Amino acid sequence: MARITVTVNGVRYEHDVPPRLPLAYYLRDVLGLTGTHVGCDTSSCGACTVLMDGKAVKSCTVLAVQADGSSITTVEGLAAPGSLHPVQEAFWEEHGLQCGFCTPGMIMAAVQLLDRNPSPTDDEIRRGLEGNLCRCTGYHNIVRAVKSAAAKLQSQAAD
């Protein structure tokens, strides 16, 4: 076992974990944060995307021990309980999901995308989310949701 200290959604945790435990399973099984989904376990689908020190990572292929000392944000930590982050709100309003399995990872990837490029074109959105697969939507509404989120975030910044 290895002792790790991580801050997840603003809360500091210390745990002894198996050295090969993936971060996704630490979040889901140890912390009970099941909003982070595991679709492939091989870094292909993006359902497990979380932010590690502000950078989107596929948590199925990061070990929990590699997250030692870092700050993690999962989909549960994007907004205060009972409220939605503008990207979550936009996915809701623009029907950017069907089954919802890919959605947490898609939202976390979109948050990073908009952080780096606050006003992306459709092409830039598609390229920015290419590591995240969706089997249901055909991506059109996801792109619309990200554009809508960009507008929301820009109007928030202007206030």
Residues within the interface to ligand FES (CB under 6 A): 38-41, 43-48, 58, 60, 97-103, 134-137
Residue 10 tokens, joined: 């603003």
C-alpha 117/C-alpha 124 separation (Å) is: 9
- Minimum CB separation of residue 133 from ligand FES in Å reads 7
What lies within 8 Å, CB to CB, of 131 at 6+ separation is 46, 49, 58, 109
Cβ proximity to ligand FES, 7 vs 43, nearer residue: 43
CA atoms within 13 A on the CB side of 151: 10
Q: What is the nearest approach in angstroms of ligand FES to the Cβ of residue 105?
A: 7
The residue (of 26 and 101) whose beta carbon lies closer to ligand FES is 101
Distance CA 96, CA 123 (A): 17
Which of 1/99 has CB closer to ligand FES? 99
CB of 149 to ligand FES, least distance (A): 16
